[in-house]
Structure 1
Amino acid sequence: MLGLGIAALYAVGSTILAVAMFTIGGAVIMLHGYLIPGTPQLTRALPESVLGAFGKNEVEAFSSNLPATKALLAVGLLDEDYRLPAEVEERIQATAAKGVNDSDVLEQAIVKKFDDVVEVSARRSLGGGENWFAFDTDEVAVRQWEARAVAALDMAVIDLLAERIPDWDDRSAADRTAMAAILRYGLQMCPACGDEYVEPEGQHMTCCGGRSLVGERQCPACDYALVDRNDLPTDAEVLA
């Protein structure tokens, strides 16, 4: 699919795509610290050395291959405090609601946005919700989402990014996934039930034992995580 747990991710941390996940990880931290209400309980879980490495970001004019977070700032999808402007959230929520309410609309949106996807399948999860999968011509799942709401939000976010980011089509798949995750993580409300997203206190571990910078921001009513942990860097030390 980072603002902000997440498919292989790399975002541009300088002008070199190879170090991009560092910048994205930094944006995750900034979103933890400034985006979400109740920030003290969120930032307590992050190392002081990492938190102290970032200050208020300056907004630059957009230019080709601008690092992901700076690109989002430049086009107004994030403000200087790394918050999603109200009109951005409203636009994303309105678009996502269409996919949440109509599975055919969501399926068509997924096929349209991913060139290699030829089939979309929704399957019941053990918790009673829906897991969504996008398959290529070899019947390999190239994308998956934990819930219909997450898939719908992802499509809404990608719509907005494609419209606002001038070099969107030229960016790597990993960079686009990271940018979408940043915006998705910054959303305040679940489009399926209307509840606010929450995040449990404390460190969260990945399946391999690494710490997740984004924790487990989730909808408590629908029981899904807003951002999959595979979408973002998990090692805080690389950001210090």
Structure 2
Amino acid sequence: MTASHTIGRLRRPEYTGENRCVPCTIVNLGIAATLAAVIAVAVGPSLGPALAAVVLVGSLVAIWLRGYLVPGTPELTKRYLPSWALALFGKDSDRHAESAAVPDGFDPEAYLLSAGVLAETADGNDFAFAPEFADAWRDALDREGAVAAARADADLAALSTLTGLDEATLSLDWHGASGVAFADGSVIGRWESRPAFRADVAADRVLAASRDDWAALPLGARSAALGALRLFVDECPACAGDVALEERVVESCCTSRDVVAARCRGCDARLFEMDLPESIAVERD
């Protein structure tokens, strides 16, 4: 058995490399340093420093290979590490904190209703796409899909039009299903999936063509309106499957939160996701 094979068996890829959790790593490094210091003092000056060094090196190797030293660290940090500490490492539950800020006083739902984009359902209990907007949105989706199939840089071009920013300053990174948009290195937007991005691009096209005030709205206001609009999408932009709302628990290494999400029943794409209000989450528990 080779050394590389042995290392491969010991390594935990779900907690190392790109998946390494900074809070968990720091907690375990602190534990390793404390353990080494205690051993150095307890054993004495003759053997203490050498033994402490061995323990420290072994601990660092374990953290490098497995992501943590103490078994169950992800659960421990999730349960006991305060939210302000997680926030220091971008692990807080507010995933949109770095996105374009929504102007004070802007109500996305009120804007969409006044713009005739949303309309009450027949029973008066909910809202849905207004028929005229729904038709225009589907047409825009088809056109955007044709452009995306023909151009390798279609995403960046669409993002430039969507944000009103110079394409040269933009980047759009996809990690798994989720996408993050940057302008000059700063986060300006996030999407749960590529179909969610396509939904926003199509809606932006329709609103820009039909609303004189749309282009004048700040980026944060437009982003908020488009995100709110996705809550009412009932047909997946990718596969035309039915979209349904669901409540679920989203788990990560250090956090656990209750969310409401709009998900396609056909291709499983997420179109919308938001944290449940704490009062509702507590009632569910």
Q: TM-score range by the shorter chain?
A: 0.5 to 0.7
TM-score (norm 1): 0.57
Alignment match, 2:267:
222
SS at match of 1:194: coil
Q: 1:235 aligns with which of 269, 277, 280?
A: 277
Alignment match, 2:212:
166
Whether the aligned pair in 2 keeps the contact of 1:71 and 1:165 (CA below 8 Å) is: no
Cα distance in 2 between the residues matched to 1:145 and 1:89: 21
Q: How much identity, in percent, do the aligned residues show?
A: 19
Q: Structure 1, residues 6-30: CA drift from partner, whole Å, max 9, x if none?
A: 664766xxxxx4355xxxxxxxxxx
Q: 2:112 aligns with which of 72, 75, 78?
A: 72
Alignment of 1:183-194 (within 5 A): 183-194=229-240
Q: Which amino acid aligns with 2:235?
A: M
Cα distance in 2 between the residues matched to 1:236 and 1:179: 23
Q: 2:137 aligns with which of 88, 92, 98?
A: 92
Whether the aligned pair in 2 keeps the contact of 1:161 and 1:180 (CA below 8 Å) is: no
Structure 2 unaligned segments of length 5 or more: list them: 1-94, 122-126, 280-285
RMSD: 3.4
The structural deviation recorded for 1:121 is 4.4
Q: 2:225 aligns with which of 165, 173, 179?
A: 179
Quick check: 1:18 aligned with 2:60? no
Q: 1:112 aligns with which of 152, 161, 165?
A: 161
Cα distance in 2 between the residues matched to 1:140 and 1:8: 9
The structural deviation recorded for 1:177 is 1.4
SS at match of 1:227: strand
Q: Which amino acid aligns with 2:205?
A: D
Cα distance in 1 between the residues matched to 2:221 and 2:108: 7
Of Structure 1 and Structure 2, the greater strand share is in: 2
Identify the structure with bigger relative contact order (alpha carbons < 8 Å, sequence gap 6+): 1
Whether the aligned pair in 1 keeps the contact of 2:179 and 2:194 (CA below 8 Å) is: yes
The structural deviation recorded for 1:182 is 2.0
Q: Structure 1, residues 120-147: CA drift from partner, whole Å, max 9, x if none?
A: 446462xxx5x444332x3445334333
Return closer, same or farther for 1:71/1:199 CA change in 2, 3 Å cut-off. closer
Q: Which amino acid aligns with 1:88?
A: F
Of Structure 1 and Structure 2, the greater helix share is in: 2
Whether the aligned pair in 2 keeps the contact of 1:111 and 1:120 (CA below 8 Å) is: no
SS at match of 1:79: strand
Alignment of 1:44-83 (within 5 A): 67-81=107-121, 82-83=127-128
| Segment drifting more, 163-172 vs 188-197 | 163-172
SS at match of 1:92: helix
